[in-house]
Each structure stands twice: as C-alpha cells, then as structure tokens.
Structure 1
Amino acid sequence: MIISQILNNNVAIVKKGSNQQTRGNEVIVYSKGVSFKHKVGDSIEEKEIQKTYVLDSHDKLEHFSYLLSNTKDEYLQIVTKTIEYGEKVIQKSVSDYLYLALLDHIDFAMKRLKKGQIVKSPLDWEVRKFYPDHYQIGLYAVDLMKQASGEECPNEEAVSIALHFINLQNQGDEADNMMKMMEAVRNILSIVKYHYKLDFKEDCLNYIRLVTHLQYFIVRMYKDEAHTSNETELNRQIRKLYPEAYSCVNKIRIYVRDTFEKELSEDEEAYLMLHIQRVTKREEEN
C-alpha cells in the first residue's frame, strides 16, 4: 500500500492495489507515528497498520479525512474505545461509517462543552427507558469525554451518542418507525399527564405497566393488529366506573386518529382506561 496523504501524526490515506491512479481504492489507516516514520509516496506494510477504515463513497472518505485532519487524536481514541465497548454490549460489529458519524458528533460536542452549551435530546426519556443497554454505551462515552476534556459532561449527551448505536440496529424505514413509536408513547403519556395535571413517579409499578402497555399498543397500531373482541358490555361498565379515564382516552383517541389514521377498538379503549385509572389513582392518593 502506498501513502497518498498524511492527515496527522497517526492517520494517513493509502491506496491499495496495483493501479495507484484509481481513487476508489483509497482507505484511511491508523498507524502510531506514521507521520514520523513515512512520507507521501512511501509504501506501508500491513503489519504497521493498527486500524483500517473503509468507507463506501469518496465523499465520506473526504469528510472523514477532513475530520481527522482537524480534530485531536484523543477524540478518535474516544470514538474507538466507545465503539469497541458498544460492539460488546450490542454483540454486533459496526460499519466504519459509525466512526465517521461518531467522530463528527464527539468533535462538535467537545466544542460545545467548552462553551458551556448543553443540548437536551427530545428523546431523552425514551432512550433511557426503552434502550438501557445503548444508554450505557452513551454513558461510557461521556465518561471518556470527561477524562479527555477535564470538563463536566452532562449525561444528556449520552442519549445522543446512544442514538447512533440504536440507528445502527434499526436501518432505513425501521429506524424512522422506531423514532416515531418512541415519540408516540411520549405524546400519549403527556396527554395523560396534562389531562390529570399530575407528575408521575417513573419507578412506580403501575406507571411502568402503563408504559409497557403503550409500547405494545403503538406497535399494534403500526402493524394494524389492534385487539378486537365482543366485550362491548365490559367496555360500557368501565366507562361508567371511570368516567375521567374515559374522558382522557377520548383525547388519546383523537391523537391516534390524527397520527395513525386508525380508530381505537373497544378492547384497546378498555385496556387504556384500566391502566390509566390504576396509575392516576395511585398518584392522586400519594
């Protein structure tokens, strides 16, 4: 392999293969002290290379090259350690594109930290609750960022980092649907909260049950697999017993209709009323 460009002390672009004029065979390599040991045009042996980054387009390679040329090597070390840890947690190998995306994120986040700028993710609650393993990856990266910068790095940053790994496991339309489903759960919980004018204790068993029910409920909405039965009389009895819960569910019905263009079945309506009644009754008693 021939070195075509040295990006910093430890990173270079090399060309593979016999046709050294072809741009498509370029890769980025990490080799400790490469800038001291070699110059452009030199050959570099495989045994000297610690890590090779293969990107699927020249645009991505150029973007990654620019980042590596303009960020600190310790930021790349944060990315490398985070991805190594993340692969163990999710038990899946990642593409080299994640190195680019995460380095871009870390570089910008470190600049924000120095300015005292904290960005809270709108999906903070959902990621913590639905993707605890991915959130732990984010916390691991946050700890590395604290060590590198000497600055206090808020845990909110862990959510944004976790999302990189969540998206990795949910590509394309699936990732988009996942985000929409998390948002839908959050919106329905907000409807309940503002209808009853209550703040919920998130470690409460009835609250956890409600959240779990909503997760499966939203999945059923997406898959058009709503519960249906002939329990009309049971539904009527629940409406009479818990009129406030029924009023709240009517608001949820409008949200579901506007968001999913679907109607609540009587079964879904009954389950929601029961879960909402349980969690709100306990909160009101407290």
Structure 2
Amino acid sequence: MDILRVFNNNVVLARSAGGDEVILVGRGLGFQARPGQPVDPKRVVRKFVPADGRDPDHLAELLADVPPEYVALLSEAMVKAGLDQQVHDSPTLVIALADHVAFAQKRLAAGVSVEYPLLAEVQHLYPEEYAEGRRLWASLRELDMDLPEAESVAFTLHLVNAGFASGDLSQTYRMTGVIQQMLDVIATTYDIDLDQSSANVGRFITHLRYLFVRIHEHAQLAEDHAAINLAIRQAHPVALQCAERLAHIMELRLGSGLTEDEMAYLTLHVARVADDRLAADTTPARKKESPTEGNPS
C-alpha cells in the first residue's frame, strides 16, 4: 500500500492493493512519511475502510484526535462483546467509542466522576443496545480497562447513535428524552401503566427511532394515502387525539411537524400500544374509566 496523505504521526490515508482508499492507524506510522511512500505494515495497528459513502479524509481527521492504542483496544473489546459486525461496518462507531473511553480515562485520572441520569430510560427503551453496552463494558474490564459500570449507559447511547447519519450524540440524548415523554403521554391519556417489554411498545419505540431519522434527514413519508389515513383517523379517535399531542411534542422538541402519512402511522401505533395494554388489564374499574375505540387493523 502507498501513502496518499499523512494526518499526523499515527494516522495516514493510503491506497490498498485493490485500489481502495483506506485509513491506517498505528503509533509512528506517519512519522516523517510522505505521499507516495510505501506503508510500513509492521506499524499498522488498525485499518478502516470508509463505508456508507463516508468521506475518508473526514474520517481520518476524526481518528487523528484519538490515541491509536485506544482504537485497537476498542476494536478488540467490541469483537469480544460480539460486536464484530459493527467494527467492520461502522468505523465511526469505533472512533466515537475509542474517543469516549480515552476521555473517560482522563476524567478518572483527574478524579472527576460523571453521572448518567438516563439509566432507566436507556434500559427500557433500548434493551438490545443496553445488553451490548454492558457486554462491551465487561469486555473492557477483561482487557484491564477499569471503567465505572455507569459507562455502559454511554456505550449504549453510542450504539443507538450509530443508526444516525449525523453522528451527533446530542441527537440521541434528545431522542431518548422525547420517546420517554411520549410514552408518558400515552399512559396518561389512557390512564394505564405501559409494559415497556411488550411487543407493541417495542414496535412503537422502533417506529419512533426511524421516524426521528426521517425527520432529521427531511425524508418523512408523504405518499398521499388520503383514504387510508382517513380510515385510521375515524377508527381510532382517541388515539388520534393522543397522536396529535405527541406530534406537538415532536414539533416543539425537534423543530418539525409531521406529514399526514406520518400522523396516520403514529395514530395506528398509539392505538396498538393502548389496545394491547387495555386488553391485558383485568381491573373492571380501570377498564370502565379508560377510553375505548375500535381495534387496530
């Protein structure tokens, strides 16, 4: 492989034997190196192949700020935690986690502790990613990286954030708070206690996560299904009222209203979540007080 660009002593952009641009990380890899020179393979610790149209120069610039030993450590820990596919498919996730761990180590050395107030929300809203975050934390401990258990919450949010094109973790923090707020509104509207482990609540959360991505990318559903939308609205009037409250929250928190198609899908998901919980509630008084409407199709 030949060097195309040197970013610092530890990160270079190179062209592979197959002609692809790859980012190479290794201590001293770029020291006194020049474009056109061959890469010293003995110094290479990690190779990144930009995916999903990522700009290799931008990715390399991000890597240049992270100590290479942390990049290697996180790659190994992620593989041990069963996240080897993410290591291959999402170099930005590896970089973000490596940067987070490097900074967390600096905080620990300075005696600074960080509290993550979203623990309950993260456990309930993202159970799969939370389990992965816990495994990653355990893997790092096995590799002699002694981090507080609370860091598994931060790992979870990074794993969730990997589904967003922006790579902006603040968006994931905001999304987490908004989802919990919306679930609280549904529970209050129907006077029920939601079982966040139920299938319909899980589908609703998944729907919201993809909806937030569409909002962020300005790509909401807008197929003009007027007849279907009207049928959903008429079949679920209480769910519609609730969905309108949720849409108002999203407009306030995310700065965007919803299209008619998105409103219809949101209404349908609200109806399913509520109907699922009401059907499971065997308390006569509670069922009498709760709003009723037609079963979702």
Q: Return the TM-score normalized by structure 2.
A: 0.54
Q: Distance in 1 between matches of 2:27 and 2:271?
A: 58
User: In the alignment, which residue of structure 1 is the partner of 2:156?
Assistant: 159
After superposition, where does 1:97-246 map in structure 2 within 5 Å?
Answer: 100-112=95-107, 115-120=112-117, 124=122, 128=126, 132=128, 137-147=132-142, 148-150=144-146, 152-154=148-150, 155-163=152-160, 166=162, 170-172=164-166, 185-211=179-205, 222-225=220-223, 227-229=225-227, 235-236=233-234, 238-239=236-237, 245=239
One-letter amino acid of the counterpart of residue 165, structure 2: Q
Offset of residue 16 of structure 1? 10
Aligned-residue RMSD, C-alpha:
5.3
1:89 and 2:90 equivalent?
no
**How far 1:81 sits from its partner (Å)?**
0.9
Q: Is the 8 A contact 1:27 1:53 kept in 2?
A: yes
Q: Deviations over 1:52-71 (max 9, x none)?
A: 5687379657634xx46xxx
Secondary structure at 2:226 match in 1: coil
CA contact (8 A) 1:29 1:49 kept: yes
User: Secondary structure in 2 aligned to 1:200?
Assistant: coil
Give 2:282's aligned residue.
285
SS in 1 for 2:65: helix
CA distance, structure 1, for counterparts of residue 189 and residue 125 of structure 2: 24
Residues in 2 aligned to 1:277 and 1:172: alpha-carbon distance in whole angstroms: 33
Q: Is the 8 A contact 1:13 1:28 kept in 2?
A: yes
Kept in 1, the 8 Å contact 2:79–2:87? The answer is no
For 2:166 and 2:225, locate their aligned partners in 1 and report how far apart those are by CA, in whole Å.
28
Unmatched runs of 5 consecutive residues or more in structure 2: 1-7, 15-22, 49-55, 284-297
Distance 1:247 1:149 in 2: 50
Q: Deviations over 1:124-160 (max 9, x none)?
A: 358725xx3x555533331133332445423313213
8 Å Cα contact 1:12/1:30 also seen in 2: yes
CA distance in 1, matches of 2:13, 2:247: 59
Greater Rg over alpha carbons, structure: 1
- Deviations along 1:184-226, whole A, 9 cap, x unmatched? 6544323213334544222224433544565677759812246
1:29 equivalent to 2:26? Answer yes
Q: Distance in 1 between matches of 2:12 and 2:268?
A: 62
User: Could you list the per-position Cα deviations for residues 148-192 of structure 1 after superposition, in whole angstroms to 9, with x for gaps in the alignment?
Assistant: 24454233132134246x15xx43499999988777654432321
**One-letter amino acid of the structure 2 residue matched with residue 139 of structure 1:** R
- Give the 3 Å change call, closer, same or farther, for CA 158–29 of structure 1 in structure 2: closer
Distance 2:93 2:167 in 1: 18
Q: Higher helix fraction: Structure 1 or Structure 2?
A: 1
Q: CA deviation at 1:105?
A: 0.6
What CA distance in whole angstroms lies between the structure 1 residues aligned with 2:179 and 2:256? 13
Give, in whole Å, the separation in 2 of the partners of 1:119 and 1:128.
15
**CA apart distance, 1:232:** 5.5
Sort the Cα spacing of 1:111 and 1:201 in 2 relative to 1 into closer, same or farther, 3 A. Answer: farther
CA contact under 8 A between 1:257 and 1:263: conserved in structure 2? no
Where 2:57 maps in the other structure, the secondary structure is coil
Shift of residue 229, structure 1, vs aligned partner: 1.2
Partner of 1:56: 57
Cα offset, 1:110, TM superposition: 3.3
Residues 187 and 142 from structure 1, CA distance in 2 versus in 1: closer, same or farther, beyond 3 angstroms?
Answer: same
- 1:261 is aligned to 257
CA distance in 2, matches of 1:238, 1:63: 52
Separation in 1 of the partners of 2:260 and 2:12?
59
Render the CA deviation track for 1:8-63: whole Å, top value 9, x for unaligned.
xxx9649999xxxxxxxx975248xx9xxxx999xx98353242568737965763
Aligned to 1:3: none
Counterpart AA for 2:57: D
Asked if structure 2 preserves the Cα contact closer than 8 Å seen for 1:126 and 1:186, the reply is no
Contact 1:121 1:159 in 2 (8 A): no
Q: How many residues align?
A: 244
